[in-house]
Amino acid sequence: MARHIPSRFRSKLSEVQDAVQAALAGNARHFGIGGEAASGVRLVAAEVDGHAVVLSLWTQPPDVVELCGDAAYPAAGALLAVDEPQARSLSEKGVLVDLSQFTRSEAYPGVYYALVDHASPAQLHKLLHRLIPQLEPHDDRTLIA
pTM (predicted TM-score): 0.83
Q: DSSP 3-state assignment of 87? A: helix
Q: How far is CA 31 from CA 46, 91, 117, 126, 135, in A?
A: 4, 19, 19, 10, 9
Spans of the chain below 50 pLDDT: 1, 141-145
Which residues are CB-neighbours of 86 under 8 A, at least 6 positions away? 20, 24, 53, 54, 97
Q: Where are the domains of the chain?
A: 6-142
Q: Which DSSP symbol is given to 110?
A: T
Look at residue 73 in the predicted model and tell me its pLDDT: 59
Look at residue 139 in the predicted model and tell me its pLDDT: 54
